[in-house]
């Protein structure tokens, strides 16, 4: 009875957004550094799929794929930090990274900060309350606007469709961009004198936070809010991405999609989290990040003896943002970061 109540509540909250668009399937070879050579015939899906999959295999094994070139061009105006993204896109709005800075009053001990990555389609106010709470307990916070979000959204979009879409290559490109942006943001925090740096992400932001933590040695702790080992499986099974799956179905099977999006999935990088204490949070009645997938990632951490803590929220994906669940979730996130930073 309780599960049915939460499932109905989750579906009502998902239905609030009526501007989801089913976009056409595209391999997106122009968005990736695919194998050199002429583009395949548009009808030759087998060749295009093989090239994207081979690119993904190379990206997973390439330790430099998530490495950002150093940046010196940071600007600070009030509580806003801006810098150029590590990679350019055809959308000039998306090429400047915007962050909000919430400095904490800190004593003589080690200076602590956390980079905060909100959820997909978050508005500019998302996670601001959480950032303010972190600052009140002595941890400065830096909130990053993800690619194609907030001021970074091109005028033709109403939603941040370009970061998760049936365009396989563009989705890879946008999520890689997010990780490179996050690493540049962490470099800025280090330059401000912060000695202990954490990262916190929710939903899509959680995936990106783990990818960042797995590749950024300056990260001392990772708080991951909604988890899955695979990017593709969440898109394929979650109710939040039904419209994305509608654009994928009939053009690609899940096994191939999982392989193509493996570079932006947490699973290949679990062993890289060995030196980073992690908090893994999932929701018992989640229909967007299926619970089976969340438990699989927890099991993977456990089997590899990766240091982690687990919290299971008594709600769903969207209801975690409602009272009282948002307070419980925020408490667990903040307390974890206070202990490990």
Compute mean pLDDT per 10 residues along the chain, 341 residues long, and list them. 87 90 94 61 76 95 92 95 95 97 79 96 93 96 97 95 96 98 98 96 98 98 98 97 96 97 98 96 97 98 97 96 96 97 95
Q: Kindly state the tokens that stand for 65.
A: 């794929």
Beta-carbon contacts of 135 under 8 Å, excluding residues fewer than 6 positions away, are 102, 103, 104, 141
Angstrom distance (rounded) from CA 286 to CA 232? 17
State the pTM of this model: 0.94
- Domain containing 268: what range? 2-340
* Per-residue pLDDT at 6: 86
Angle in degrees, CA 102, 321, 232, rounded to 5: 95
| Strands of 219-225's sheet in order across | 75-77, 80-84, 96-102, 140-144, 112-117, 196-202, 219-225, 278-283, 308-313
Q: Say which DSSP state 156 is in.
A: T
3, 257, 292 from 262: Cα distances, Å = 31, 8, 18
Measured over the CA atoms of residue 306, residue 130, residue 91 and residue 239, the dihedral's sign is positive
**For the domain that residue 181 is a member of, what is the CATH number?**
3.40.50.1820
Nearest to 284 by CA among 329, 248, 252: 329
**How many domains does the chain contain in total?**
1
């Amino acid at each position: 009875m309780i599960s049915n109540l939460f499932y109905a509540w989750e579906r009502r909250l998902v239905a609030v957004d009526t501007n989801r668009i089913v976009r056409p399937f595209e391999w997106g070879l122009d968005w990736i550094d695919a194998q050199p050579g002429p583009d395949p015939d548009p009808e030759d899906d087998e060749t295009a799929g093989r090239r994207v999959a081979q690119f993904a295999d190379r990206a997973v094994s390439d330790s430099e794929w998530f490495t950002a070139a150093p940046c010196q061009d940071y600007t600070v105006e009030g509580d806003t930090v801006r810098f150029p993204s590590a990679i350019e896109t055809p959308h000039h709005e998306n090429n400047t990274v915007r962050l909000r800075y919430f400095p904490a009053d800190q004593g003589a001990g080690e200076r602590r900060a956390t980079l905060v990555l909100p959820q997909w389609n978050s508005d500019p106010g998302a996670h601001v309350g959480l950032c303010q709470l972190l600052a009140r307990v002595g941890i400065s916070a830096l909130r990053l606007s993800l690619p194609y979000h907030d001021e970074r959204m091109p005028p033709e979009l109403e939603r941040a469709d370009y970061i998760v879409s049936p365009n396989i290559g563009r989705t890879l490109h946008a999520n890689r961009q997010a990780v490179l942006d996050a690493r540049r943001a962490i470099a800025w925090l280090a330059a401000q004198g912060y000695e202990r740096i954490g990262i916190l992400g929710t939903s899509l932001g959680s995936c990106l936070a783990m990818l960042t933590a797995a590749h950024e040695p300056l990260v001392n702790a990772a708080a991951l809010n909604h988890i899955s080992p695979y990017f593709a499986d969440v898109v394929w099974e979650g109710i939040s991405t039904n419209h994305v799956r509608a654009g994928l179905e009939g053009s690609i099977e899940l096994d191939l999609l999982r392989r193509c999006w493996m570079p932006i999935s947490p699973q290949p990088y679990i062993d890289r989290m060995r030196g980073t204490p992690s908090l893994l949070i999932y929701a018992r009645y989640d229909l967007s990040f299926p619970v089976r997938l969340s438990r699989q990632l927890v099991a993977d951490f456990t089997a590899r003896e990766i240091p982690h803590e687990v919290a299971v929220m008594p709600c769903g994906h969207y209801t975690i943002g409602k009272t009282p669940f948002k307070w419980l979730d925020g408490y667990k996130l903040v307390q974890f970061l206070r202990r490990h930073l």
